[in-house]
Chains A and B, each alone.
Chain A
Amino acid sequence: MTEATETSVRNDVRAWLEANWNPELGLVEWRQKLIESGWGAPHWPTQWYGRGLPVKFNGVVDEEFRRIGAVTVARAGIRTLAAATILDHGTDLHKEKFLKRILTGEDTWCQLFSEPGSGSDMAAATTRADFKGNKWIVNGQKVWTTSAHKADWALLLARTDWDAPKLKGLSYFLLNMRQPGVNVQPLRQMNGYASFNQVFMTDAEVEPELQMGKNGEGWKIATTTLMHERRGADGLRGWATASTRKGKIYDDERAEVATTMEPYKWYPQRAGRVDLLIQRAKDTGKYNDPLVRQEIAKVLTMQKASEWTARRARAAQELGQPQGPEGSLGKLISSNIARAAARTHTLITGADAMLSGSDAPMDGTISEILISVPACSIAGGTDEIQRNIISERVLQMPREPSTDTEKPFREVPRNTVMLGKR
C-alpha cells in the first residue's frame, strides 16, 4: 500500500462521498453506512470502523464533508471520550458493543468521576463496587455529571479495594444508566441553570465483562480519559456545530447538537464578556469616566497579553523550539480576566447590577455575567490546582508532603459532613 498523502486522502474521501452521500437517508441509517466505510473516524484502526490514517488528516476529511454538506458521525459530548478510552483499554467485547452505537449517535454517554467528597482530589472517590454473586454492585454518589439525565451509559470510577492505597484501590466500569439502581437529579447552580447532575447509585449492577482493565487499574484508565479530554479526544471531539442546510437529516443533527450543547449556553458569560465592555460604557454614558476607562484598559491589556502569550507558545511550537512555560498558563489567565471583566461590568452597570432577567441590562446578560464568573476559576481544575500544577511541573517546586498516598485508603481521613447540603 502506498503511503497516504493529503492529496490521496482528499481524493479518496471525496470520491466516496460523491458516490454515497444521500441527504434523503435517516441520520442513523446514513451514519451506519459512513461508519462501515471507515470515513467516520479515519484515524481509528481499520478493524474498528476507521482507516488507520494519521490524525493529522482529519482536517482534510472534515473539509470534504463540509464542502459537500455531508453529516458526520456523532461527535458532541462525552461519547467521544468514552470511545477513545474504549479504544485504548477496552476488550473486543467492549469495542463490539459500544463503538458503533457511539458513532451513530444512538448511545449517549456521561462520566461518573467527581464526587461530593472528592473534587480536586478525585482519586479519593468513595463510591464502592463490591463483587457479590456474579456481578459488581455499585453504591455511592457522583456529581457534576453533564447530561447524565440523557445518558445511556457511563464511565464509572469506583473503589474496589479499601485496604490498598488511594490510587491503587480504584477500578473502572462501564455502567448502564438505564437501570433501577441509578437515580439522576439535576444540580441547580448559583446562576439558576442546571447544567450538571448528581447521580445516586443504590445497588446498581455492572456485569463482570463490563469492567475495563483489572481491579486497581481504575486510576490509570481514568487518567487516560482525562488526557483525551484535554487533547479533544484526538481530533474527533470538538465544539460540535451543525450545518445550516435544510432537510430532515440536518434537522436531526441540529437537534442532537442542541441537546448536547444545551448545558453550555451560559459559558460565554462565565468568561466575563470582555467584548461588551466598551459598548456598555458608551451606552451608559460612562465611557469618559477616567476610573471606568482605567478599568476597561486593564481588562483589555490582560486580554491582549493573554492572546499574544498563546500565539507565542504556538509559534515556538511550530518552529520546533523548546517548549517554554507560556503554554501552561492559559486557564489561570482566563480566570483572572473573567474576574476583572465582571468587576468592570459592575462598575459600568451601577445600580442596575442589582437586577436580573428582563429588568436587567441586555435582557439579563450582564446579570448572568456577574453570577456566572465564579465558575471560571473552579470548573476543569480550580485556580489553586492550576497553580500547584504550574509550580510543580513548570517551576519544579517540591510537592507538599503527602499524608494519604501510602497507607490503606480505609485509614485516610475523609469527609463526614457534606458542606452545602441541606
Chain B
Amino acid sequence: MEHILTANNLTKTFKSGERSLTVLDSVSFEIEPGATVSIVGPSGSGKTTLLGLCAGLDVPSEGIISLVDIKLNALSEDDRAFVRNQYVGFIFQNFQLLSTLTALENVVLPLELRGEKNLVPRGKELLERVGLIDRMDHFPSQLSGGEQQRVAIARAFMSNPKILFADEPTGNLDEETADIVTKLLFDINKEEGTTLILVTHNMELAQHTQRILQLKGGKLVSDERTHQNLAVESNTSQLA
C-alpha cells in the first residue's frame, strides 16, 4: 500500500432547490502511511467537508476517495461504517462521548463493536496513558472539557486505527488544556505510528504536523511540508 489515503478530483456540491453550491472543487492529494497532515483554511473553505469525505462520513458528488485502497464512494453507508470501525479513529471538537457510558466504556466501545473480548486491560492502559485511570468510572458529565477530550483520544487509539481524523481537537479548550491535549495527541500518535489528519484553523497547531494542506473557497491552494517533516527526513537520513 503506497498511500493510505487518496483523494482524486473530489468535488462536493450541495443542492438547495434549483441552486447548487460547490463547497469542494476538484481536490486531489495522497497521504502516505504514518504521515501527519493538517488541513487548514478559513471558515467555509471546505475543511470539515473534506474531512467528512476522507473519513467516509459522506460521499463526494464527483471524484474518488480511497482509504487503505478501499474506494469509499463505491460502498454503502453500512459498508463505510464497517471500514471506519476497522481502520479509522476520530477525535472531535465537541468530544462526542456517549453521555450514558462511563469513561472506560466509551474508550472500549469501538472494539466492543467489533465483537472483541477482554478489552478492559487495554482500555485501562490507554486511560492511564491519558492520566485518567482514576476517573474511568465517571460519566462524561462528571468530567471537564479537557478530561473528556483525553477520554476521546484514548477511544480513538483503542482500536489501533490505521488513520486518525481529528476535527479541531482543541477548539473547545482553553490554552493550557489545549497544550496538554495537543502534546498527548501527538505523543501517542508517534508511539502508535498512526496516520493523522488534523483539521484546524489554528496554524500553531498545524505546525505540529509534517504537511499542511491549505483550502480556500473549496480549492486546494497549497500543499506544504513543515519543519516537522524536515526533522523527520533528517532523522531518517541520519539513521540511514
Real binding pair? no
